[in-house]
Amino acid sequence: MKARVLSACVLVPVIVGTAIIGGLPFLAVVLVICGISAWEFGRIFDRHDGIRTPLILLVVSVIVLILARWFIGIDASHRTLTFCIMGAMLCGTILCEQEVPKSALSFVVLTTGMVYIGWLGGYMVSLRQLPDGAVKFLLVIFMVWGNDVGAFTIGRAIGKHKMFKIVSPKKTWEGFFGGILFTMLVAALARLLIPQVRAILELHQILILAAAVSISGPLGDYGESMIKRCYGVKDSSNLIPGHGGFFDRFDSCFFAMPVAYYVFEFIHFL
């Protein structure tokens, strides 16, 4: 717990500060998060399934996808994803020609990593680029963190009923609903205390956003747990003391950010 708190004392100011500043500092942080997560993602398969995925190509492709979101926007960046997937197939074909074992699976890992980390992770950039993007991004990231804290605290205190006994044995229904409760609390307090939040969201709108984040975020966590469970991995790496790797720390964001982006896109109809 001490290591977790100390790591958070470093990560939180960096993420919050760069989100407020925006521009290249924020872009750099997102590139680091997604680039390292992509490396960790590919390494899980390479270390435990005998696959020789070109991790440099995976990381570079993810970085290119994030840069495309930044410079040409979400509406045009799908073109970049198209050519990245085609490049992954070409790479797999070359590996097969060189008689590299399981080269077809290398293509699968490359493509999945591009979409999972690069495309979904790119919504951090897209969310920040919305009008009032700093407020919206920080609101969502604090909801994700509030959900983590609530699920951990309530689950540890009273959790008895397992959600996924194989995928994530420590996760309970009590923790899941505790996470939703904490997320709602973060949302309500944010609207009560922060004028910029009140200016863009009504109470019922922010509660809808909180519900969406508190459900989608854990799905990202369970998804990563599924991958690690299949390969007998506890942490994606040990780069963040007390938290494991970047993939471990930001897995919820890869699901929560896209969902939040589309909630913000349609929330004014609600």
Q: What is the pLDDT of residues 191-237, one digit of tens each?
A: 999 999 999 999 999 999 999 999 999 999 999 999 988 888 888 88
Question: How many CB atoms sit inside 10 A of residue 265's CB?
Answer: 10
Backbone angles phi, psi at 164, to 5 degrees: -130, 100
Q: What is the pLDDT of residue 49?
A: 64
Q: What is the pLDDT of residue 64?
A: 96
The residues, any chain, with a CB within 8 Å of residue 165's CB and separated by 6 or more, are none
Residue ranges of domains in the chain: 2-269
pLDDT confidence tier of residue 5, bands split at 50, 70 and 90: confident
| 128, 72 Cβ separation under 8 angstroms | no
Q: What is the pLDDT of residue 58?
A: 95
HSE-CB of 247 using CA atoms within 13 angstroms: 27
- Verdict on whether the full-model pTM lies above 0.85: yes
Q: What is the distance of C-alpha 138 from the center of its chain? A: 14
**What is the distance between the alpha carbons of residues 72 and 258, in angstroms, rounded to a whole number?**
18
- The region of weakest confidence among 47-51, 152-156, 175-179, 186-190 is 47-51
Q: What is the pLDDT of residue 260?
A: 97
Segment 239-261 mean pLDDT: 90
Residues 64-83: tens digit of each pLDDT = 999 999 999 998 888 999 99
Q: What is the pLDDT of residue 269?
A: 77
Segment 171-180 mean pLDDT: 93
pLDDT at residue 2 above 80? no
pLDDT at residue 242 above 90? no
pLDDT over 70 percentage in the chain: 98
| 32, 250 Cβ separation under 8 angstroms | no
Residues 20-55: tens digit of each pLDDT = 999 999 999 999 999 999 999 999 987 766 678 889
Q: What is the distance of C-alpha 84 from the center of its chain? A: 20
Q: What is the distance of C-alpha 54 from the center of its chain? A: 22
**What is the distance between the alpha carbons of residues 149 and 8, in angstroms, rounded to a whole number?**
12
Q: Which residue has the tokens 């958070």?
A: 8
Q: List, in sequence order, every residue forming a beta bridge with 172; answer none if it has no partner.
A: 162
The full 3-state SS of the chain, as one line of letters, equals: CHHHHHHHHHHHHHHHHHHHHCHHHHHHHHHHHHHHHHHHHHHHHHHHHCCCCCHHHHHHHHHHHHHHHHHHCCCCCHHHHHHHHHHHHHHHHHHHHCCCCCHHHHHHHHHHHHHHHHHHHCHHHHHHCCCCHHHHHHHHHHHHHHHHHHHHHHHHHHCCCEEECCCEEEEEHHHHHHHHHHHHHHHHHHHHHCHHHHHHCCHHHHHHHHHHHHHHHHHHHHHHHHHHHHCCCCCCCCCECCCECHHHHHCCHHHHHHHHHHHHHHHHHC
Q: What is the pLDDT of residue 169?
A: 83
Q: What is the pLDDT of residue 128?
A: 96
